[in-house]
Structure 1
Amino acid sequence: MTLRREAFLDQVKERGEYETEHEAERAARVVLALLGAHLVGDVRAQLAARLPEEFALILLNPLQSAEPLTPERFVRATAAWIEGATEQTAAWDVSAVLSTVADAAGHDLMDQVLLQLPTGYDLLFGRPQPT
């Protein structure tokens, strides 16, 4: 089931402890644009189908990435795209958005998503995998 825009942003806002919906939306746009560059094919399409349309389109038309970013570099890239962000605030942004995405995706799809990503992303999604 697709999340409504308001429900999606409310979850991101609550998890990120943002004061405004605008801050939550900015974080969601940047994180999803970076995430989309790391996912391909059916998995990306299935994940997009569970997000509100405007965020699905961002995931499907991502920022280009020359190589898959490690979780640390993903956080750094997020910080670079959000004005005034530090690595600490960007880590918070990434966690708020990706944990909301993980909830929307559900367990089975998240397993497929994590298979496409470098090791360590399970923690960014708030879904630590047993080693």
Structure 2
Amino acid sequence: MIPAPVPARDHRVRDDGWHRLVDAVRESGQYRTRAEAESVTRIVLSALGGHVVGDERVDLARALPEEAARVVASQIPATRRLTAAEFVDSVAPRIEGATPATARWDVSSVLSVLPDLVGDALVTRILAQLPAGYALLFGRAELTTAE
């Protein structure tokens, strides 16, 4: 029996997923244009891609639309773990006209849409490998245990 041909991947599906992600970021961050939201999305995902490693990075890339997956997966892993504040500070120079406050807004605007897109379980795994403080960037409360 001859196996059925594998259908070609419909690039409109990829584009639709990417556009839905950018539109979610645009709404979350209240950006004026799709281009602005797309730029911020690419910058933040590329920064995140350097800090998420191992199975979590692979699973994140699988869960994202193809274009976003490429942005994440193409990054060289960071040699030093950054605190959440250092992460935001590292993103600020990449965004035209950003200040530390606007960079935090931009990072949160992108990362806070990821749980709905990739699932809470994966975000929990990603947060487990990042230093404390990142949960707030993903739109979650940072809970600590009482000592």
| TM-score normalised per structure 2 | 0.83
What is the correspondence of 1:31-42 to structure 2 with a 5 Å cutoff?
A: 31-42=44-55
Task: Tell me which of 56, 59, 62 is aligned to 2:72.
Answer: 59
Question: Matched residues in 1 for 2:93 and 2:129: separation?
Answer: 23
2:133 aligned partner, one-letter code: G
Residues 1:29 and 2:38 are matched in the alignment: no
Conserved? CA contact 1:15–1:96, under 8 Å: yes
Task: Tell me which of 72, 96, 115 is aligned to 1:83.
Answer: 96
* SS of the residue 2:112 aligns to: helix
1:107 aligned partner, one-letter code: D
**Residues 63 and 80 of structure 1: CA distance in aligned 2, closer, same or farther (over 3 Å):** farther
Partner of residue 14, structure 1: 27
Q: How many residues align?
A: 130
Structure 2 residues not aligned, in runs of 5+: 1-13
Residues 1:97 and 2:110 are matched in the alignment: yes
Identity rate, percent: 46
**Residues 67 and 51 of structure 1: CA distance in aligned 2, closer, same or farther (over 3 Å):** same
2:93 aligned partner, one-letter code: A
- Larger RCO, structure (CA 8 Å, separation 6 or more): 1
Partner of residue 114, structure 1: 127
Question: Matched residues in 1 for 2:89 and 2:78: separation?
Answer: 13
Structure 1 residues not aligned, in runs of 5+: none
Report the aligned-residue RMSD.
1.6
Partner of residue 46, structure 1: 59
Conserved? CA contact 1:34–1:63, under 8 Å: no
